[in-house]
Structure 1
């Protein structure tokens, strides 16, 4: 209570008045009345002290209630005070909390509606794509059986590649939409980085073999973090895919991970040409493509459209992690490939 400067000044002023009364009584020869004067002063100050203490207790309770609301409690006690300005303040805060609760409920309903809509869109898009895939495969098999249809078979192969690209694009866009809408449910559990990295690399194993690019995992034993294993594997898979697309034949992509006192740190490096300096600030921007991607794109061989790394960043950010891109360099300062650094920081207890 006395930490409040206004209260402290009022207390000092009261004590000064009591002391002045005592000095005046002594000066006029009324020393016999001095104890009674002091007793009267204490009696007069007691209700003031009691009332001030009660007000500070009420303010402390109100502060605790607000702190509870900030930490997820959705209720506030409106009946703990009687009339007075503090009761009015608490009433207004209660109204504010109820309004925020209503807004949060409305946003949750909208988020759920959007999630359901995205799921329906996903189903509606994937159904015809799946039918197209099956039809294309049947036609290709029929042409293979007939023979002397090499040109037609090659065209069908191109259609299949384009179709796979569209399916991957649609799937990634839907994930981004769910992430933007806050409709992506993320787990909060202990994730073993070694297992997670293998999950991320498994779907790309054939692609790495066909591209003649080696994938090396160098992960410290017991390295882990708190997050979502499946979605982190999705993010890491997008980074690996990006590195694979920019690494020449005979090259290598390396994933290293270790823990320190602050964070679990994951690094992905390739042996490609690296990232152009003008592209570095934009690599995680949605739909941004570097000069090399734009130059290599064609109708037959489409390259990425700049959403894989954006999705990876969104998934990592959603778990309170960080990701940054740079170029690896040798001792002479020459670029030896692209580098992506991911960190999941430990909670401070």
Structure 2
């Protein structure tokens, strides 16, 4: 039943006009004429109501088909609307949806092509880098002096950092292209924290930085364990690189009715206030880069990739990451939030 106030008003006007004409006919020609006028008025009002109801029904059908098309259904036709203004509107909608479907198919094809190209680029880059690493190891073993051996080791370290940078850039490109497939399974946070620390154990030990983890028993969330581990590892890596010897990087996690919350804190100098809004920006160089311990230009901590990759990986899962300082005197803090319900 149409609920348009104008439709109700028109029905009222029609009924009032019929009543007025019936009264005039009664006064001028008697009850028989009034009855004929009333019958004609009722028929006209009924025809108007039926035609309007059918029109509203066709509009509702158009709206329902449009909702199906917006939901991703591709085999939606707007034909069969008869003639008139609605038929013209349905024809235009049909053309628009067809064009959108074709554009979407072309976009999907471009994504697959880009994914294949990125896979090929990854292979073409990693093969010579791996070969170069093998050659450097052979050169180190054949080094004539300790100085030569140290230079080769430095080259090897920079090569590892270059491999990490290339890998991170390719992952960011795949995320931007929308070709990364993320799983959605139950992730145990205690196991996740341990897995994220393991790749950094040697680097943290050499830097004199210790890890501390305090995770509530049974703390978990729905997400992709492998990609989340990489995101958390990048956050921990950033903290280790900016924490002085003897410092600590702490991981705490808890779960409430709204979300699973993971907090990473360090005992370093913290993040400059002017850098806080930009720490997750790609290739952003903060003020702290000028005074970092490792001045190696190939150090990935100075190119602004790790935290950007972490945010991209988390946002793709519907999670959030924010940066702040533990206190005004120092200590960086990163909060990872995995909502239980994504709106």
Shared fold per TM-score greater than 0.5:
yes
Cα distance, 1:304 vs structure 2: 2.8
Alpha-carbon distance between aligned partners in 2 of 1:335 and 1:61, rounded to the nearest angstrom: 63
Cα distance, 1:271 vs structure 2: 1.1
Deviations 1:110-153 (A, max 9, x none): 1111111111111111111111111111222233xx7xx21111
Aligned to 1:226: 222
Aligned to 1:112: 112
Aligned to 2:250: 254
Matching of residue 308 in structure 1 with residue 306 in structure 2: yes
Matches within 5 A, 1:75-94: 75-94=75-94
Alpha-carbon distance between aligned partners in 2 of 1:48 and 1:290, rounded to the nearest angstrom: 71
Deviations 1:180-206 (A, max 9, x none): 222222223333333333332221122
From 299, 318, 329, give the equivalent of 1:335.
329
From 143, 147, 151, give the equivalent of 1:151.
147
Aligned to 1:205: 201
Gaps in structure 2 of 5+ consecutive residues: none
Aligned to 2:188: 192
Gaps in structure 1 of 5+ consecutive residues: none
Alpha-carbon distance between aligned partners in 2 of 1:207 and 1:299, rounded to the nearest angstrom: 15
Aligned to 1:266: 262
Answer yes or no: is the 8 Å Cα contact 2:282–2:304 preserved in 1: yes
Aligned with 2:302: secondary structure?
Answer: coil
Q: 1:82 to 1:29 in 2, by over 3 A?
A: closer
From 287, 295, 298, give the equivalent of 1:298.
295
Answer yes or no: is the 8 Å Cα contact 2:15–2:45 preserved in 1: no
Aligned residues: 341
Alpha-carbon distance between aligned partners in 1 of 2:101 and 2:82, rounded to the nearest angstrom: 25
Answer yes or no: is the 8 Å Cα contact 2:242–2:269 preserved in 1: yes
Aligned to 1:169: 165
Deviations 1:292-339 (A, max 9, x none): 21333534773431111111111122222221111012xxxx434101
Aligned with 1:191: secondary structure?
Answer: strand
Deviations 1:4-63 (A, max 9, x none): 132122111111111212332344472355444333322222222111111111111111
Answer yes or no: is the 8 Å Cα contact 2:250–2:264 preserved in 1: yes
Matching of residue 321 in structure 1 with residue 319 in structure 2: yes
Q: 1:208 to 1:298 in 2, by over 3 A?
A: closer
Aligned to 1:275: 271
Q: 1:336 to 1:298 in 2, by over 3 A?
A: closer
Alpha-carbon distance between aligned partners in 1 of 2:112 and 2:248, rounded to the nearest angstrom: 42
Matching of residue 346 in structure 1 with residue 340 in structure 2: yes
Aligned to 2:211: 215
Aligned with 1:258: secondary structure?
Answer: strand
Matching of residue 180 in structure 1 with residue 176 in structure 2: yes
CA RMSD, aligned part only?
2.1
Answer yes or no: is the 8 Å Cα contact 1:162–1:300 preserved in 2: no
Q: 1:38 to 1:259 in 2, by over 3 A?
A: farther
Q: 1:222 to 1:14 in 2, by over 3 A?
A: farther
Answer yes or no: is the 8 Å Cα contact 1:253–1:271 preserved in 2: yes
Q: 1:301 to 1:188 in 2, by over 3 A?
A: closer
- Greater shift after overlay, 47-56 or 199-208? 199-208
Aligned to 2:280: 284
Aligned with 2:41: secondary structure?
Answer: helix
Cα distance, 1:86 vs structure 2: 1.1
